[in-house]
């Protein structure tokens, strides 16, 4: 299950999506997320599916690799599904003791489950097709106008990128610790959900120790390279918009406007 988490992982490539300006990709994802919350029926989801399939095709990231990231979220998706199906009032279709399944509840449950799936699938393409360095530069560039009001744009961007980058590292450490304890007789697979959660408690202490050790090693490495934050910092590759970037953000604005128009027309 831990290996199925794709958040923070980077899939190297030399494709149209990989070569886009990171600022454009971030803005595109923001518009994509906003468009999902403007959808109020199933018909616009056709365009959302088309957008995802086109992005996957252009990025050449295996669809199985993207769908694999949904496995750790199945529990959350199911909880959302059942909450909506049992808590939404309307025309009763079936009664299960004190619980009732309504027509409106079934509609809302499927609708919200699809929204979560599209949200995770679409946003995962950002980290899969953008290197940590490019993502840091993109976030810093977008936040730079807020420096005038005292926002530490570089430090905030670096912190967010390091947090994303450390997710796969911590998952790898957790997997190693679990295998080491299972070799010593620990059981993480039998019992109910509560017992499994209790069995995971012994993992926390060595995991936190390793996390602090890696953070200290990272800080030492950055200091050894004379890292002093964003002041007077130069870059090997400066971000410059290309025609493909302008065309991409233009197409995304049209997509976003189309989703809004479908809601109110």
Domain boundaries, the chain: 1-130+239-265, 154-233
For residue 147, count other CB atoms closer than 10 A to its CB: 13
For 104, the token pair is 């409106």
Q: Could you tell me if 56 and 73 are in contact, meaning their C-beta atoms sit under 8 angstroms apart?
A: no
First to last CA, the chain: 43
Residue 200 DSSP one-character state: T
Weakest-pLDDT range from 40-49, 71-80, 192-201: 192-201
For 148, the token pair is 């005038």
90: left (phi over 0), alpha (psi -120 to 50) or beta: left
**pTM exceeding the 0.85 threshold for the entire prediction:** no
- pLDDT value at residue 257: 92
Q: Across the strands, what pairs with 101?
A: 94
Residues 85-121 have pLDDT tens digits of 888 887 777 777 777 888 888 888 899 999 999 998 8
Q: Could you tell me if 64 and 82 are in contact, meaning their C-beta atoms sit under 8 angstroms apart?
A: no
- pLDDT value at residue 256: 93
Residues 211-248 have pLDDT tens digits of 888 888 888 888 887 777 666 666 666 778 889 999 99
Q: Cα separation of 245 and 71, whole Å?
A: 32
- pLDDT value at residue 234: 66
Model confidence at 3: pLDDT above 70? no
Residues 156-206 have pLDDT tens digits of 877 877 777 777 777 778 778 878 877 877 766 666 667 766 777 777 788
Q: Could you tell me if 153 and 230 are in contact, meaning their C-beta atoms sit under 8 angstroms apart?
A: yes
């Amino acid at each position: 299950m831990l290996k199925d988490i794709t958040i923070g992982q980077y899939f190297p490539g030399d494709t149209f999506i990989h070569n886009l300006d990171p600022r454009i990709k971030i803005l595109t994802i923001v518009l994509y997320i906003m468009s999902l919350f403007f959808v109020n029926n199933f018909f616009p989801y056709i365009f959302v599916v088309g957008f995802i399939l086109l992005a996957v095709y252009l990025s050449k990231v295996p669809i199985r690799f993207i769908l694999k990231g949904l496995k750790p979220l199945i529990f959350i998706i199911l909880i959302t599904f059942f909450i909506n199906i049992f808590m939404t009032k309307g025309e009763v279709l079936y009664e299960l003791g004190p619980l009732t399944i309504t027509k409106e509840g079934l509609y809302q449950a499927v609708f919200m489950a699809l929204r979560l799936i599209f949200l995770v699938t679409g946003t995962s393409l950002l980290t899969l097709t953008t290197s940590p360095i490019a993502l840091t530069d993109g976030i810093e560039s977008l936040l730079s106008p807020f420096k005038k009001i005292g926002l530490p744009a570089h430090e905030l961007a670096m912190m967010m990128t390091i947090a994303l980058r450390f997710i796969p590292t911590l998952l790898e450490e957790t997997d190693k610790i679990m295998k080491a304890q299972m070799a010593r007789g620990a059981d993480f697979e039998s019992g109910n959900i509560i017992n499994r959660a209790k069995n995971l408690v012994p993992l926390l202490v060595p995991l936190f120790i390793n996390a602090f050790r890696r953070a200290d090693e990272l800080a030492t490495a950055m200091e050894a390279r004379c890292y002093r934050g964003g002041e007077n910092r130069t870059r090997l590759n400066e971000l410059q918009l290309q025609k493909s970037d302008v065309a991409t953000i233009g197409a995304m604005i049209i997509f976003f406007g189309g989703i809004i128009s479908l809601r109110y027309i």
